[in-house]
Structure 1
Amino acid sequence: MAETAVQTDHEIGAAPAPPPRGRRGRRTVLVASALVVVAAVAVVGALGLGGGGSQEGSSAPPRSGSTVPVTRTTLTERTTVDGQLGYGTEIPLPVKATGTVTWLPAEGTTVKRGGTLLRVDDRPVVLLYGTLPMYRELGLTTGTRQGTRQETGAEGDPQKSGGQGRTDERSGAPDPSGSPTPGGAGAGAGAGGTGAGAGGAGGTLRGMDVLQFESNLAALGYTGFTVDEEFTGLTARAVKRWQKSLGLPQTGTVGVGDVVYSAGKVRIGHANVRLGSPATDDVLTYTGTSRKVLVNASAAEDSWAVRRAAVTIALPDGKSVKGEVASVGKSATAPEEGGGEGDSAAPTVPVTITVKDQKSVGRLESAPVTVEYVGRERADVLTVPVAALVALAEGGHGLETADGRFVAVKTGLFADGRVEVSGSAVREGMNVRIPE
């Protein structure tokens, strides 16, 4: 009997409506697309663009989807790329020593200023800091050696120099007794040879390479001379003390193959020769000691890769550390042929990212990582969750308000699951529905 009463109430309604399930289905079509004529007509009614819109809205049951507010915020587009944590590309050490390799360090060893990189003919090749390569022997020229002997005698006794007075070693000016200038006229050019940088007046060896070497010698604690561009007898004495500490003959002269310069301490890479082999230019490789990330960025999408750009590095253990773009390659590399699907990959450029806080990386020395960078950014814009957008029958996108109305919107940047929206009917704080 109750069932009959329900049917009677339904039958006397002015506008018979389909069952509730049918209404929800119709709403889904309305929100989803305009592929069906019936759905298109329903959308027009819902937007209030045709007759009967208010009647439809008043009789429609409330939607069961949740509502969210339109918020004003800054949208930031973030993109991730794959990278490789390590110490960077290994490059050959500029070893110029000749002879037989008699000792090699273990791979991964860190060598600082004054440390031994390898031994050739059982002589150490020492690391010093600098940017100018070792290109000549450093020592006293022939004239300077003669002047030094006159100054100190064979064993440092002034009387053994024939009673002649001392000479100012740096200026070459004679003292009141009229002793000759060291390395004066007729003095040889010495090991440095002649020409630019090989020596100056009086045969004294001068040059920026002398200044670089003397700076290192003083930093190692061997002092007693003025750090400048002149290699003097006082420099030679400090060199002898340094050579004694290395177990070398105390000649006071530094050979071309005795030292190797780098910008700082180095991490030994792999050796290209075995013990007993002749020393070659690429006997050892090295890297810096700071861990960094190398990214092969798509050449078509590398606008983010500019020097000093900030990025976030996601490590395999789930931690994230801050990084900074240090360098960007200027040449794009095409994918290797014969790589199957890889043949269609876009050309890439190498991007090196440094990590200032090395402790934040932990003990990892090599690992695949993910690099996140900021792309486009839109500040102070209205946004909604992407899920709140609905497709309108007449084209474009819209939002459904809490009372069932539909308003058209223009979309902008999509980022972090939200979308920028604008339009005359959109305002901050209004509630919109998330369609099911």
Structure 2
Amino acid sequence: EMTVPYGDPRPPFQRKQAFDFGDGGIGRAANNLKLGCDCLGAIHYLSAVVTDTEGKPEVAPNVVCLHEQDNGIGWKHTNFRTGRAVVTRLREFVIQFVATLANYEYVFAYKLDTAGGISVETRATGIVSVVPIDEGKVSNYGNVVFPGAMAQNHQHIFAVRIDPNIDSYGSSDTAVVLEESHPIPMNPETNPFGNGYEVRKQRVEKAMYTDAEPKVNRTVKLENVNNKNPVSGKNVGYKFIPNATQLMLADDNSIQAARAPYAKHHLWVTGYRDEELWAAGEFTNQSKKEEGGVKAMVQRGDWFVDGANASTATGQLSSPVVWNVFGLTHNPRVEDWPVMPVEIHQFHIRPADFFTSNPALDMPTRKNETSVIVPCCNGNASRDSLRTDSDKSGSVQANAVAHLQGADADVDPKNLPKAPENKRHSATLSKIFSWKKDSK
């Protein structure tokens, strides 16, 4: 879900608040993506069936694109003793769609990377909403972006629903744990030099909400309480850190806050119920208050651990659902006119003791053969003349395991330690990012 409350208190703008998923219908607003424009490289498109204005099925062609992209260095290390470097690229499998909702465009992308991470990215672009203003005047409620046109201050506040099933679909296997790092007061027994700190963990036992807290690095861990990592002995899991973005600025007694109470906190944990998919409730169009959203789900009082029963009659033992809330406060600039450059926000869900080592160790060892040196100062050189004979083969490392770069190997792959026999792999990632040694 996403709500866009505007900060101009002059009537009728006190009700100017879009719910771009709930009001606009994000599926019907999805763009027909064009090859070579919205997604680059080798693309596979997915079409969808949506309902038209009369409730009849209608095919929306090419609304989701699947492609792979490079996102810079994935991991690297230089041996300072030998000067030898080891480097790989971070490859991402991207599932992306674009929606036009009145004046704004939003680009949503789910990125699965070769280190087992999942990134959720939003990009806002399009045309800012403007109202008339007398030329020569200014306003506290926005910024003049063109003579006679004032773009109003507003916020974009998103909510992403995460239904975690970590290494199991058992309803009682996945737990939500809040992890924080706190300083230990200097003392002669446990911290005589004052440099120590401790990691505190607390399992979420009941439906609740909380906020991001950078001072203690508040982290949300999604763990399987019955499966242990064979290396660390800890629960296998994934984690993310809620971003400390600004929450809804509208007063708690305002109609904007009543319609979207989810936008008042960074994190909500609720009990799973069928068909509960929307942070602000299912029906937001012309609403006066939230009905069936995350606030109501928390008040219901579900619990996740036997014996942690809530005192409400409507609660029940359930599995946890996590809602991550983030956003951007958009006080417009002249540079946002006439079309706004993208505003980008990402949050990252990363494995935390899920694998037995870095899952990107076996990345392919091909050098990028399209990279060339560009001479400066009016120098001239062709692409081939800037390569050595050894470069033209495209092969950099001596073997796929060590990822060595240079003339001679300083590690014998036969002497590398073997992984545990019960080494964990992600079947999904293995299929998506599988490769053959002789592939190009």
What's the TM-score, normalizing by structure 1? 0.20
More helix by share: 1
